Amino acid sequence: MNEIKERADKLLEKFNIFQKKSDIKVLEQESLGPSFWKDHKSAASKMKNLANLQKEVGDAEKLKELVAAGNYKDAEILLNRLEVLLYLSNAYDEANAILSIHAGQGGVEAMDFVQMLYRMYTRYLERKDWKYELIEETQGEEAGIKSLTISIDGKYSYGYLKRESGVHRLVRLSPFNADNLRHTSFALVEVMPEIGEDSKIIIKEDDLEWDFYRSSSKGGQNVQKVSTAVRLKHKPTGIIITAQAQRYQGQNREYALKMLRAKLWILREEERKKEEQRLKGGYKTPGWGNQIRSYVLHPYHMVKDLRTGYETTNTEAVFDGDLDSFIDEELRKL
């Protein structure tokens, strides 16, 4: 009991309820202004921020009430969730996220694994009540998905998901093999923050090379007759981005630029971390060399995070989006 009370006191001190209440008053007053809704995009963003602040203050007030009433069981549950928010204080942790999944070694198995991960993450997003939109998808020739990218709309979605970046490994009996042999396949997950146009990431129009083409389609009545898909190349870095999921070229252009800003920020962050770790030793590029999680479905069932050591035998729940324990363990390690 004393431990929970001490943790709650420390959290409430750091949470700065007074400042959050002050921010709420400012936003509420601003929302009453006659010109508030003239800029719908800005107004919607501010109202969303207001709702998030109100929820955070409400949770903090509830925690105080639970501790005061001696309801330490419920207080600990709420405390665990609020403590996670305190770990999300780095640049862009509050931002929306862009998540990509790419098939690696394993052929059609790896493409099927991408589809499994896509379902897993979208179920997780639904649990969080975050909205998502498909930006780009390349279907596999036989089955599954070669690669895909989604845009996620949810406060702290980048902070929660950023440590999902890395190589994921699946071991199972192959459903695509007549002999039903054990098979290992890999997929790469990338998570980037949505970077606003007013950030320090500057993109020069002269550095961009655009190509437009028809979106891929499964045929029938929906075959694209106009070039709505876009391919964007950033000449200084060689980064290439495609966006084709939207019906209109302008929307795909917007998504491509959004992804480019995010990739450039990630590139800059990697260089910064590389320089920091070069002095300490042990820098690892977040790519194919770094496996972060294994999903084993044969000869036993287990999902294990190789960084924290956290594991579970309930593989069905994990693939159904139950990722909170894995993500919380990672956040507490930061």
| Sign of the torsion angle spanned by Cα atoms 120, 121, 122, 126 | positive
- Indicate the burial class of 110 (C-beta count within 10 angstroms; 0-12, 13-18, 19 or more): buried
- Indicate the burial class of 112 (C-beta count within 10 angstroms; 0-12, 13-18, 19 or more): buried
> What pLDDT was estimated at residue 221?
39
Name, in order, each residue with C-beta under 8 angstroms of 221's C-beta and a sequence gap of 6 or more.
Answer: none
Domain boundaries, the chain: 2-87, 97-191+283-333, 205-280
Indicate the class that CATH gives domain 97-191+283-333. Answer: alpha beta
Indicate the class that CATH gives domain 205-280. Answer: alpha beta
pTM score: 0.78
Phi then psi dihedrals of residue 268, to 5 deg: -65, -40
> What pLDDT was estimated at residue 334?
64
> What pLDDT was estimated at residue 2?
84
Mean pLDDT by 10 residues, the chain (334 residues): 86 85 94 91 87 90 92 90 81 91 92 97 96 92 92 93 94 84 92 80 92 66 63 95 86 92 90 74 59 94 96 98 93 75
Residues 44, 95, 89, 3: what is their CA dihedral angle, to the nearest 10 degrees?
80
CA-to-CA separations, 207 to 124, 201, 202, 203, in angstroms, rounded: 37, 13, 11, 7
Asked whether 264 and 244 are in contact (CB, 8 A), the reply is no
Phi then psi dihedrals of residue 154, to 5 deg: -175, 130
The Cα–Cα gap between 125 and 303 comes to: 19
